[in-house]
Structure 1
Amino acid sequence: MKKIFLTIFMMAFVFMMKAQDFNKYDKGNFIKGKDSISYRILFPENFNPAQKYPIVFFLHGSGERGNDNESQLVHGGKLFLKDDIRKNFPAIVVFPQCPANDYWANVNIAPNGQGKRSFSFVEGGKPTKAMHALQGMVKDFLKKPFVNKAQVYVGGLSMGGMGTYELLRRQRKTFAAAIAICGGDNTNNIDKYKTVPLWIFHGGKDDVVDPAFSIAISERLKTVGDEVKFTLYPLSNHNSWDSAFAEPQLLPWLFSHKR
C-alpha cells in the first residue's frame, strides 16, 4: 500500500509541477468579428515592451483540439520553457488552439478501408474557420510594437504541420522560416511558399500521415525553393516530434533567419 501511495503521490507531484510550468504561458483570446481563437502565450523573461522580440507561432495536432486553452501545450510547450532556450533565444511564443470540430488545414479526410485515414489536400480553396481566425490573430500580433516583424516564425506537428504549410502560402510574406513535423500538403501549393526556409521532419514508419507527403514536398522544394532541410527518422512512427524537439540545431537554425 505504501508503494502504491508513493506512486500516486509522485504522479500527482509531477502533474502539478508540469501544470505550474505551463502557468508561465498566459491565457489569451483573439476576437474580431466572426473570428475567435484562444491561445497561450509565453513572454521572454524580463520582458521589456520597449524592445522588439522574435515571435513563434506553434500549431498543435488534431488530438489537442478543444476549448480548454491548455491541451495545445502538451507537445512543444516544455521545449520553450527550458532555461537555456529562454536565455539564448528570448522570444514570444504563441500556442493557439483549434476548436474540436475544426481543422487548421483545408484537407479532405476519409477512411481508407484499413482502419486508417487518407488525406487529400486542397489546392487553393478558402481557409477553414480556424485558419481564418488564426490568420487574423497573426496579423493582430504583428501590429504590436514589441514584435520584430523580421523574425516571425511558424511551426507545427501533424495537423499543425499541415496548417504550417497552409499558413505559409496564405501569408507568404510574413514568415522568416518554418518547421513542419509529420505534416502534408498538395504539392501544387509549394510555389506559394518556396522562398520561405523550411525544416521538414517525418517518421519513416508513420502510419497516420504518410511520410510520402513530406518527401514529395522536400524533393520539390529542392528544385524550386530557396532553402529546405529534410530529416527522416527511419524507425519513428507518427511521433517524430520528440526527435525533432531534441535536435540541438532546431531553434538555432530557426532563429538564424530574418526577412
Structure 2
Amino acid sequence: MIQDKPMYKFFIVIGFMLLINPAFSQRRHRLPENSSIKFDSIAFATQKHYLNGLSADEYQKKTFKFKDIHIPYRLLEPSNFKSTKKYPLVVSLHNSIRVGNDNEKQLEPLSRIWLKPQIRKNFQAFVLAPQFETRSTNYAFDEVRNVLVAKPNSNLIALIDLIEQLEKELNIDENRIYLIGYSMGGSSVQNLLSLSPGTFAAMISIAGVPDFSSTNALQSKPIWLIHGEKDNENPFNGSEVLFNELKQNKKVRFSIYSNLDHNTINYPLLNTDELPKWLFQWKK
C-alpha cells in the first residue's frame, strides 16, 4: 500500500471542507502553487504502479454491438452483491491513447481506483469501463467563445444504448448513474451528460474539452470540473469558460491546480477517496 504523506492529508482536508460546506463547494477554487501539493514524479509513479498492480480479474470482459459499432467493455460488480439490492453504476471513460479493441488498455488509473480494497468496500457499485475503437469525441474551435469544444461521435450514442441495456439486466439504481473521465474521457462524459441529461446523476470531468450544446439542461446537475492551469493539450480556459456559463448552477465545482499540466493532473486524485465520495452523495 502507498504510505500516507503530508500532501495527501492536505487534499483530504480540502476535500472534506468542500463536501461539508455547500457554499464553498459551489465556488471556483484554486489550489495554491506554493503549498505542499507540488508535483512529485516519484510519488506519482508509485501511485500508478500500485494501481496497475491490482488484479483486474474481477472486471469481467464483455462486448456490446450497436448497429456497426462494437464496444469492448469491462464490468466490475459490487464486492458484496445482494440480489435484493440496487447499486450505483459508475461509467469511467478512458483517454485517447487507450483507443483500441484489446479490452485491456481502457483500465487506466481512474478505472482502477475502484479496485482499491477500501474503495471497493466502502463504495459498492457496478463500474463500467468501455473501450472505444475510435475517438469518442472530436474537438473543434468555437470562434465565439474562443475555446476548443467537444463534439460527440456515434460510439457515444452506442454507449448510451449499452447503459440502457445494463439497467434492464442488472440491479442498477437508475437514480445513481455517475460519469467520470480524464482527457478525451473527460470531454466525452460532458458529451454524454449533454446528450442524455436525464440519465445521469452526476459527472466528474478531468482535463476535458467543454461541451456547450446543452448548458441550459445542465443548470441543476452536479458537475465537478478539474483542470491544471498548465495544461497545453486540452487548454484550461475551456473549463473556465464552461464554469462561467454554469455559474448559476449551485452544484458546480471547479478545482484549479495551478502547477499541474495535462499529464500530471491526476496526481492528487488517485490516493484518496474524494472522487467516489463526491459522486456517491448525489441522486437524480
Alignment of 1:126-165 (within 5 A): 127-165=152-190
Deviation at 1:188, TM superposition (A): 4.6
Task: Tell me, in whole angstroms, the C-alpha distance in 2 between the residues paired with 1:132 and 1:28.
Answer: 18
Instruction: Tell which deviates more after alignment, 17-26 or 51-60.
Output: 17-26
Is residue 82 from structure 1 mapped to residue 116 from structure 2 by the alignment? yes
Q: Deviations over 1:21-41 (max 9, x none)?
A: 112211111123333211111
SS of alignment partner, residue 168 of structure 2: coil
Matches within 5 A, 1:54-69: 54-69=88-103
Q: What's the offset of the Cα at 1:131?
A: 1.2
The residue number in structure 1 matching 2:255 is 231
Going from structure 1 to structure 2, the CA distance change for 1:84 and 1:92 (only over 3 Å counts) comes to: same
> Counterparts of 2:54 and 2:182 in 1: how far apart (Å)?
24
What are the superposed Cα offsets for residues 55-98 of structure 1, whole Å, 9 maximum, x if unpaired?
A: 10011100111111110112213210111111111000011001
Of 180-189 and 157-166, deviating more is: 180-189
1:164 and 1:202 mapped to 2: Cα distance? Answer: 15
Counterpart of 1:38, as a letter, is P
Counterpart mapping for 1:30-109 below 5 A: 30-99=64-133, 102-108=134-140
Instruction: Indicate which of 198, 204, 208 corresponds to 2:233.
Output: 208
- Contact 2:79/2:120 (CA < 8 Å) preserved in 1? yes
Amino acid across the alignment from 1:232: I
Deviation at 1:145, TM superposition (A): 4.4
Identity %: 32
CA distance in 1, matches of 2:149, 2:88: 34
Tell me the equivalent position of 1:221: 246
Q: Does 1:184 align with 2:209?
A: yes
Aligned-partner Cα distance in 2 for 1:83–1:185: 33
Aligned pair 1:24/2:58, yes or no?
Answer: yes
Distance in 1 separating the partners of 2:70 and 2:277: 32
Q: Is the 8 A contact 2:110 2:181 kept in 1?
A: no
Q: Compute the displacement of 1:19 (Å).
A: 6.1
- How far apart, CA to CA, are the structure 2 residues paired with 1:189 and 1:81? 33
State the structure with bigger RCO (CA 8 A, min sep 6), 1 or 2.
2
8 Å contact from structure 2 (residues 194, 213) kept in 1: no
**1:58 is matched by which residue type in structure 2?**
S
Long gaps (5+) in structure 2: 1-47, 142-146
**Could you say if the C-alpha distance between residues 128 and 79 of structure 1 is closer, same or farther in structure 2, counting changes exceeding 3 Å?**
same
Per the alignment, do residues 151 and 234 of structure 1 end up closer, same or farther by CA in structure 2, a change over 3 Å counting? same
Instruction: Tell me, in whole angstroms, the C-alpha distance in 1 between the residues paired with 2:52 and 2:261.
Output: 26
TM normalised by structure 2 equals: 0.75
One-letter code aligned to 2:131: Q
What is the SS of the residue equivalent to 1:136? helix
TM-superposed CA distance for 1:120, in Å, is 4.3
Q: In the alignment, which of 220, 244, 267 is matched to residue 242 of structure 1?
A: 267
Deviation of 1:241 after TM superposition, in Å, equals 2.1
1:135 is displaced (CA, Å) by 1.4
SS in 2 for 1:50: coil
Whole-angstrom CA distance in 2 between matches of 1:26 and 1:71: 14
Asked if the contact 2:148–2:210 (Cα under 8 Å) also holds between the matched residues in 1, the reply is no
Quote the Cα distance in structure 2 between the aligned partners of 1:194 and 1:106: 24
Aligned residues between the structures? 231
The runs of 5 or more residues in structure 1 that have no matched partner are 1-13, 110-117
What is the RMSD of the two structures over their aligned residues, measured on CA atoms?
A: 2.3
Could you tell me which amino acid in structure 1 is paired with residue 236 of structure 2? P
Determine the C-alpha separation between the residues in 2 that align with 1:187 and 1:196. 14
TM-score, normalised via structure 1 length:
0.81
In structure 1, distance between residues paired with 2:62 and 2:225: 29
Residues 1:168 and 2:217 are matched in the alignment: no
Distance 1:238 1:57 in 2: 21
State the shift of 1:168 in Å: 0.2
